[in-house]
Amino acid sequence: MFNMAASLGFLTKSLLNLRLSTTCYRWIHMQETPLNIHVTSALWGVPMKKKRKVDPQLAIMREQKKKRKIEKQIRRLEKYAQKLKPIEEIQISNQLQQETKLRQRRNTVISFEESEERVKLVKQWSQYQQKLFGEEMKALALAELAQQKALTELRKESEELYQMAIQMDAKLIPFKHEGPLYTVAISDYKAPDGEYNDISRKWD
Amino acid sequence: MQKFVSFISSVSRLCPAKISVNQPFGICGRLMSVSSQDILTDDHSKKWHLFSAVCLERLPQISANLNEIENKYLNFMNQLEIENSLLSDHELRFQEDKKIAAKKHDDSDLKEETARKTTTEIEDLWEIEYNSFTPAPRITEADKSNDLKSLERCLDGKLILLVKQKLGTQETWVMPQSRHQPGESMRQTAERILHQYCGEKMKSLFLGNAPCGYHKYKYPRDADVFGAKVFFFKAFHQDGNVSEICPEIIDYSWVTKKELPQYLSPVYLESVNKFIIDF
């Protein structure tokens, strides 16, 4: 009897002290007697949300819209992929193309004597160039012969020295040489100050 | 020079003349003493001394002057270029200027000053700007004073370094040369010569390991050695002049190919002319 009263008393106490019990997820009792009343976490349960119904046609439309958008992007990319970077140096601008008639030079009439003179000059020039070319070839052949002679003479003296002489010179390549110019650079010349503006367009 | 020529002819076997020379020809300065090792003694077949020489060239710094036909053809090409071209912006502007001037002339009321610059005014400005800069002269001070030791002379042609060296008893103008020493290649000898004769400041670029030319001369008959075989190595001058003259060199000068005959003996010149290409 006492036992029963005691356990009831405990129950009321625990019920009254609900706030305390809520902090526990589980009630683990230390009593020797079994207790059949439990306070469980099922109290926190929430009723399920109602599922929104989507119109199937609308869903299809949406999907198509997405698809079209991507297709458009692809088309745009393809369009620009074919377009090459313009080479301004060899393209004649529209303005210039329109002005070609305006820019025609009134050709001066060349007299017969003048044209004869010109033909003669071209012939003279080709003869002159041929002469130069011949001289150059001759000089090169002579130089080659001189080198060959030097090498054979060296071989007669010493095979070892000859072998050293015909080795390749790796230090010579790459060979770099500047000039000749019309006038030499002025030493300790100070270039006047100026701003450098890069106006070339960028193409990515 | 005359002495050298006469010497060459005297050496030929047909000529019985004998010159007594204490030192064999071609042994210079440092290598004056001839050790028994240098000469491979073989009484029946005498040996040759091997020499390396450097043909140091300073390449043309400026373009050559045009000759008559080149000038004529250049003018002709320029003329053709103008005839075949279209009018430029500047020329169009000039035409516009003419029109404006004519209009002004017609009605005298329109004589107010405009901000527009005429083409002639612009050209004047350009000319002033052009004249404000003076490029380096094509004919330098060294040309005017005929300074043969300067690298600034004859900028439009090739210059070759010649040195006055004591070969045997004579002082002769040659390309810097020296005896080959055991253990080095002919090119290394050539590099050593340049370093030794011209100082540290001289920088050059050797063109390959192979010699570009060859010259031989004989010593007097009573010498133990036949003579000298000189192998030439070509090098381009890059920087610095001959800074300190070493005792082996009496004098030096930078000469053009055309000036070579004034310095070299005809025989030497013939061997050397083969590989000096200058146009």
Domain map of chain A by residue range? Answer: 4-39, 114-165
Q: Is the pLDDT of residue A53 over 90?
A: no
What domains are defined for chain B? 2-41 (no CATH), 48-62+140-272 (3.90.79.10), 68-131 (no CATH)
Nearest CA-CA partner of B169 in B1, B36, B19, B22:
B22
Residue of A nearest to B208 (CA): A169
Residue B213 and residue A146: Cβ atoms within 8 Å?
A: yes
The answer to whether the CB atoms of A128 and B69 lie below 8 A apart is: yes
Instruction: Decide if B86 and A103 are in contact by the 8 Å CB cutoff.
Output: yes
**Taking CB atoms and an 8 Å cutoff, what residues of chain A touch B50?**
157-158, 161
State mean pLDDT over B147-162.
91
Q: How far is A107 from chain B (nearest CA, A)?
A: 7
Distance (Å) from the alpha carbon of A188 to chain B's nearest alpha carbon: 12
- Is B187 within 8 Å of A164 when comparing Cβ atoms? yes
Between these two residues, B39 and B10, which has the higher pLDDT value?
B39
A169, A189, A190, best to mutate vs chain B, most B CBs in 10 Å: A169
Evaluate if residue A118 carries a pLDDT over 80: yes
pLDDT at residue B92 greater than cutoff 70: yes
Specify the long-range contacts of residues B193-199, CB closer than 8 Å, at least 24 apart.
B193/B52, B193/B53, B193/B54, B194/B54, B194/B56, B194/B235, B196/B246, B196/B248, B197/B163, B197/B242, B197/B245, B197/B246, B197/B248, B197/B249, B198/B161, B198/B242, B198/B243, B199/B240, B199/B242, B199/B243, B199/B244
The pTM assigned to this predicted structure is 0.67
* pLDDT value at residue B35: 39
Cβ of A154 within 8 Å of Cβ of B231? The answer is: yes
Most B CBs within 10 A among A103, A114, A122, hence the mutation to make, goes to A103
- Is residue A84 very low, low, confident or very high in pLDDT (cuts 50, 70, 90)? confident
